[in-house]
Amino acid sequence: MDIVFILDASGSIEFVNFERMRNFVAAFVEEVDVERGAARIGVVVFSDSVRVGFYLDQFASRLDIIEELQSLPYLRGSTNTAGALEFVSNSMFVSDRGDRNNARNVAFLITNSQSNNREETMAEAKALKDKGIHLFVAGVGASFLYNLSLPNPCLVASMERKRL
């Protein structure tokens, strides 16, 4: 499985929640088989712009991945979720950066759901899905819970019951 984590590093996340995201990814990495190649991990962080933490082919060791996670920057700024999804689709899940043809592609977006452009975000999420990339979304922070309570919350993942 090729897995890319997309971490919201915008100002609305707040540093404490950004730390929680990094810790969550580190705990996840502890549970997958990176060393024998069953899983490859990539990470991007985003706010106004998108920055690569590391590509899918950059690390083959859990310890190296976990160490690199600690150096990911908290960016602040606005929440360009659409830009992050587009970047992941076009620059992370590509063979030049370690994407494998025989591996399932999974993108895991962690955000507070306050995208600065809902329509573009939904279009980019659909484009990921159309490419066969499975997109999952996890919420972080109190604002995520608040946004879920509003009519028509902006969620970008489809809920499919498929075994990964």
Best CATH choice for the domain 2-118+134-141 from the list 3.40.50.1010, 3.30.420.40, 3.30.590.10, 3.40.50.410: 3.40.50.410
Pairwise CA distance, residues 139 & 125, whole Å: 16
Burial 65-75 (b: 16+ CB within 10 A, else e): bbeebeebebb
CA-wise closest residue to 89 among 1, 6, 156: 6
What residue spans define the domains of the chain?
Answer: 2-118+134-141
Question: How do residues 30-41 score in pLDDT, each as one tens digit?
Answer: 999 999 999 999
The pTM is what? Answer: 0.87
Quick count: other Cβ atoms within 10 Å of Cβ 24? 17
Per-residue pLDDT of the chain (164 residues; tens, 9 = 90+): 999 999 999 998 889 999 999 999 999 999 999 999 999 999 999 999 999 999 999 999 999 999 999 999 999 999 999 999 999 999 999 999 999 999 999 999 999 867 888 889 989 999 999 999 999 988 886 655 444 444 444 444 444 444 44
